[in-house]
Structure 1
Amino acid sequence: MKKHSARVAPLSACNSPVLTLTKVEGEDRSRENVVGTTEAQSAGAAGAESGSSRRRLHCCIRVTAVQVRKALWGVAMVMCVCSSWAGSTQLAKLTFKQFDAPFTLTWFATTWNCLFFPLYYIGHLCKSPERQTARQRLRECCRFFGDDGLTPKVFFTKVAPFGLLWILTNYLYLQALRKINTTDVSALFCCNKAFVFLLSWIVLRDRFMGVRIVAAILAIAGIVMMTYADGFHSHSVIGIALVVASASMSALYKVLFKMVLGSAKFGEAALFLSIVGSTNFVFVSFVPVMLYFTHVEYIESLRDIPWAYLCGVAALLFAFNVLVNFGIAITYPTLISLGIVLSVPVNAMVDLYTCEIHFNSVRLIAVFIICLGFLMLLLPEDWDQCIIQLSQKLRKRDEPAEGSGEAGAGTGLNWRGRARTSMSTYAL
């Protein structure tokens, strides 16, 4: 659930139609400046104008096609992210009814992260025109950690802490599922985006935005109201504290990753997550064994372990992390984040059908304001400027209709210039 910056290669490729459109517009302006007064020059200008109009229309169609394709992929991505996150939450809740072992489930699901880099390398062999061997690709991705690659010092200072935060985030989330219902857990976990903003503002000195401060206040208010909805019972308070701690660990993971390692390309991110999974398998495997022999997470026979549920939870969490980290290659990051917040009503419908939750007015308001705060945090940094520009464009579009009498009395050259301005505005 990391946010990739412009270092991710597919982002620049997605912007190429916009660059082509700008270049065509610049060429059109240069042609208009050299138009003379002779008859031959006028005919040449008319031909150039018609040709540039066709190219501009063709570019508009290309841009629209790219945007429509990304939007369609985004709809599919929203559904996949929502179903994988809600499905893993519901399936984990069912798993605890037969096998009450949250840490063992955390260890088992995190170990599946080892598959990230092999799957990425298979995609590299299928898509990349310059195919590299696994060793060559591994060495190139290891440069993400520094010029010397993945040394023991880099591992213990820049990788192991993130592995610990990963395990804590998932373990606290699963522990919270044992205490409270899935709707409350999924809604409260959405507060992690507000925590990311607050930490980024304090630690990374990110831009101050009033709307995001309001969103953070709404998230905190939702936490308090969620606690009040159950009457401050110890069982629910502990569950809410656990999921808030999980959201805090997730936010700390993201902010520290940005501060220590910066942004990662797809291969580098896949390698990093595979290292986290391998580290979990090598160094943390003794903890489930200790919990078994101390009867903290005990089961009488290995045949009684619901392997189907365990593999289902691990597979859904793995799919969720693949979609969140690499879905940016085919669609917009905002749509991916939207799938997370949509898992809240999905979990609510399941809980309502299974009669595991009582929706009083306080709980409904709490869930609503938390989701509202999450959506407010998805607004871009220049959202206010976008609204101002949109209102100015709409005002300019209304001006020719109001001054149509003056436009009819003008020359043909003025009419063509006005039409050209309208087409340029539409293309942008």
Structure 2
Amino acid sequence: HKACGLPCVFFSPGDERSRESPAPAEAQMQAGAEGGGRVSRCCWKCSVTQLKKIFWGVAVVLGVCSSWSGSTQLAKLTFKKFDAPFTLTWFATNWNFLFFPLYYLGHVFKSAEKQSPKQRYRECCQFFGDNGLTLKVFFTKAAPFGVLWTLTNYLYLHAIKKINTTDVSVLFCCNKAFVFLLSWIVLRDRFMGVRIVAAIFAIAGIVMMTYADGFHSHSVIGIALVVGSASMSALYKVLFKLLLGSAKFGEAALFLSVLAVFNVLFVTCIPVILYFTKVEYWSSFDIVPWGNLCGFSILLLTFNILLNFGIAITYPTLISLGIVLSVPVNAVVDHYTSEIVFNSVRVIAIVIIGLGFLLLLLPEEWDVWVIKLLTRLKVRKKEELPEGNGDVTSGLPNKSRRTRPSMSSFAH
């Protein structure tokens, strides 16, 4: 049964006749009952599995939406007391170290064949090559992604200082369009006209968002920062696919933990330099809002966990919808907490970018599915029309002929 992917056995009447020729009718009824029972059980299992996946999908969507919008709003609130976006980026990235330990805990609770942390680490290290995670591999395959990760988060957080969170969250949705364009150019992915349209929508939305605030320098810088963050995010994803390919859950968890190690070893000096040069300066550590910093880091870690590992329990498209839903959540919060003006240009820009994001979620074979659906609908209409005409004419053949006026009477 292809719908549920489980093996189902069907009995045919011809087979039953060859086995028990004296009672063909009973054999057919028994075969039909057995086959129908197995099909129904198979379909029931299939429907339950799909319902579970949809239920977990809704939970993951709500988690992605709340964690992403919550981290954005908390970052905005943090900058009122702690104006240090790069330090906040560095602090939150250090929490990535928890990825592999959290993954190993899940492995211990769920896997039948439990491995020690060292064995699991060595097995996941094969992702980097036959020699594992060597110093050369660390600098050639991990360090560039550490830089892109830091730039993505820093530009995003710095943009929150310049413009409202609604504009930041909706403009960051353009990263999916940038991923498609880079994949089409660099990875030679399949050309899809609908995704080109989505990329055009994203670019048009960026221009309209800039126009909504009257091209002021403050808003233009903020929009440029978000677009730069979305571009770095797209470059990160495309380079990962180009250089490293696809990763399993344990390999992805180890890779993200390695990025935290790179952050501690090589990025720590930058916040220190910014502090002593008073670019990001605070008078004492007592005024640092540690609750906001830890809350932002936990929400960002939760968002990345759901984004990277949510596909194990639900559909990837549902996870992406959580990012889009964060836009109206941020808009509602901004409406009550800031002086944002939702003029017609800004609303149209938000709708265009959101529509472009949704178009990019369409599967590659969406056009084939649409053609098949339209073909089936046409066949059904053709089957229904003859049946309907037959019922009317067969029921009242003479009456319809007698009462129906000729066309010549209308002519005169």
TM-score by length of 1: 0.87
Determine helix, strand or coil for the equivalent of 2:113: coil
Contact residue 102 and residue 171 of structure 1 kept, 8 A: yes
**Separation of aligned partners in 2, 1:93 and 1:152:** 38
Per the TM alignment, residue 310 of structure 1 is displaced from its structure 2 partner at its CA by 0.5
Among 108, 125, 143, the residue aligned to 2:126: 143
CA contact 2:17–2:27 (8 Å) conserved in 1: no
SS of the aligned residue for 1:18 comes to: coil
Deviations 1:172-220 (A, max 9, x none): 0011111111000000000000000000011111111110000000000
Which amino acid letter does the alignment assign opposite residue 355 of structure 2? L
Partner of 1:189: 172
Is this contact kept in 2: 1:35–1:42, CA < 8 A? Answer: no
Q: Matched residue of 1:98: which SS? A: coil
Identity value in percent: 67
**Amino acid of the structure 1 residue aligned with 2:180:** F
Preserved contact between residue 181 and residue 356 of structure 1 (Cα < 8 Å): no
Give the Cα–Cα distance (whole angstroms) in 1 for the partners of residues 33 and 22 of structure 2: 17
Quote the Cα distance in structure 1 between the aligned partners of 2:310 and 2:377. 33
TM-score normalised to the size of structure 2?
A: 0.90
The residue number in structure 2 matching 1:307 is 290
Match of residue 44, structure 2, among 61, 75, 80: 61
Q: Aligned AA for 1:87?
A: G
Tell me what 1:319 maps to: 302
Check conservation: 1:17, 1:62, Cα contact below 8 A: no
Unaligned runs of 5+ in 2: 389-412
Residue aligning to 2:5: 19
- Residues 4, 45 of structure 2: 8 Å contact kept: no
CA drift at 1:145: 0.6
In 1: Cα distance, 2:379 partner to 2:351 partner: 37
Offset, 1:397: 5.7
* Cα displacement (A) at 1:230: 0.8
Cα distance, 1:205–1:33 mapped onto 2, change above 3 Å: farther
Amino acid at match of 2:199: A
Q: Distance in 2 between matches of 1:196 and 1:185?
A: 18
Moved more, 382-391 or 275-284: 382-391
| CA positional deviation for 1:156 | 0.9
Structure-2 separation of matches of 1:354 and 1:75: 28
1:221-260 → structure 2 map (5 Å cutoff): 221-260=204-243
Residue of structure 2 equivalent to 1:104: 87
State whether residues 152 and 233 of structure 2, in contact with CA within 8 Å, keep that contact through their aligned partners in structure 1.
yes
Alpha-carbon distance in 2 for matches of 1:298, 1:63: 58
1:351 alignment partner AA: D
Q: 1:186 to 1:48 in 2, by over 3 A?
A: same
CA-based RMSD: 2.1
Query: Which of 125, 146, 151 is the aligned partner of 1:168?
Result: 151
Following superposition, the deviation at residue 47 of structure 1 comes to: 1.1
CA distance in 1, matches of 2:3, 2:193: 33
2:321 match: 338
> How far does the alpha carbon of each residue in 1:282-311 deviate from its partner, in whole angstroms, 9 at most, with x for none?
221111111111111100010000001111
> Aligned residues, how many?
389
Instruction: State the alpha-carbon separation in 2 of the partners of residues 393 and 50 from structure 1.
Output: 30
CA distance in 2, matches of 1:54, 1:196: 47
SS at match of 1:212: helix
CA shift for structure 1 position 45:
2.8
User: Does residue 328 in structure 1 map to residue 328 in structure 2?
Assistant: no
Contact preservation (8 Å) 2:75, 2:296: yes
State how far apart, in whole Å, the 1-side matches of 2:74 and 2:241 are: 32
253-262 or 381-390, which deviates more = 381-390
- Say which of 35, 44, 57 aligns to 1:74: 57
- Cα-to-partner distance string for 1:67-90 (whole Å, 9 max, x where unaligned): 111111111111110010000000
User: Counterpart in 2 of 1:424?
Assistant: none
Which residue pairs with 2:15 in the alignment?
34
Unaligned runs of 5+ in 1: 1-14, 406-428
Once the two structures are TM-superposed, the CA of residue 60 in structure 1 deviates from its matched residue by 1.1
Q: 1:32 to 1:179 in 2, by over 3 A?
A: farther
